[in-house]
Structure 1
């Protein structure tokens, strides 16, 4: 078998099926990454969504028998919505991060990897492989960096020369001895725009992220949001793109190569108030195909409540009172109580005082107290 020719043919085929970039990485353990992950764990910077076993995250031989190379791929996604709807008073809108526009990227990237695997099967029947997209044990970014897809930016994203950081990543561990590609040298230079722009200071230093402070992570949690972050999320209801949008390498980067990635403005930027009462069925029907739906509707609804507070949206007071008085979930009732205080109308205050008399949950009572405290500050001023 001429593996040099096979590599050329795999690359050529990848272009035929719409893979925007492909590279080959060696299957050696990721020693440097292992040290970083251990440090992250010691500092408590992990999100908890990652594979728990650091050995599996950094040693391909522990998850695949006899790895010889890793094929990494990237698909470029859009950064702009054509004819995006605009919010206004009474019709405020939230925003899903770009990685949740269009059909769930896990599905799209896996489909490309499966097509690639079928091609490899046709050429090398004895080939073995393991496909991974985001939820696999290995770090997609570490593989992509080693494979020359892009360099690891200060914002902890893979930045490609061709598409910026607006790319989805996936990889395939194989038993094929394909020649590895050269990594791309770091091109961030002295730039630190992403570090300075991060709303919560989650980017501790170049290439180091405290996931516990990252808005992208926080918008995916299901419990009550810590107070210090409630005013920081703005109208984001899933994810955060700030460290990407300020990056000079992303200037002018907007690719519409894949029809299924095209964002529907009414889904990517949905009206906030209807989200508060949306049924499970309607949520699944409208948002079930996007990546941002994976945690269910509760985090989205909680974030929508804080977004309405961000806008000080008085027309939403009745809907928020409905949540405060009737929703069975304490996290949602508590969030609504805080938001009503933040909005600050007389009707909101009366609703909080009434709720204070009947609410049984201690945590919700604490949120009601926080909501009422806003009025005390207002009165002092």
Structure 2
């Protein structure tokens, strides 16, 4: 008989709930039961964790194993619990001292070979852990810089389960072979959302982007329009640009974030947390300190604008442009339902999405810029 516990974090929107991961070993037929309202990807962690433990050189306990995720009333989704589940099992099997695990929060997905892969939402998860009073956090090595943005928390970045076992058992830490230079890091593949252009050309699909060298000083002429942009930036006013195609509406909108004030520390953490949950943090830049810019196509659905989608709700364009600029080019071409959905975030500064699995709240305080090419383009409308 053995028992061990450690902690991880369940994300609800951009807010986290600390979850206690408990492992109990009892005599009986070898079985692995996972309880505590897990979703499909979390249920599959049983196979991932078993393979990762064996391939890391540890022995899998051949007894009746029950892993509980508490509080059981909170839905748990994603693969970020893998690392905590594996260590709790090894603690119950006495491969690791259970007392060492009790006050550590662990976040990360495990590959079958035991490597620790990053997951979305590292920053809000660590913020939740710090808010709950935890001071030690274990995350994937490539996400350690993001986790270190939270003050007062000791962050340990590991590349494999083998390394973490050695650290917790006070053994020599093995070296892991680095990836070949110049090749994409496969550990980052899980952070790139298909269809969003997160890896390249983010602006082409309306995902938020940061300062890309646009400067209002590049604009020659357009004195009235430039004055309007400057007034909007200074007072935080929304802006409507009207003019024929090629007049410079998009050019001016793209340069509006460059004259907005740089984000304060708290604002940067808010923006970074949203992009971390969406899986859109720029590689090598764990903290977003410039106002984001988001320009969705006019065919965007209501869900892509305000957030949602199947399963776990994801941030939409209004949240990805939080503390920045949301540009709606050819505004009359957007559906009326999508435009009507912007009323709540414009009034309250946040958006609430209700699903059967629960209610999530995303920040959405942005400066909106509308553009219209005039009646000629729409046949007199």
TM-score w.r.t. the length of structure 2 is: 0.32
Larger fraction in strand: 2
TM-score w.r.t. the length of structure 1 is: 0.32
Higher RCO (C-alpha under 8 Å, 6+ residues apart): 1
Larger fraction in helix: 1
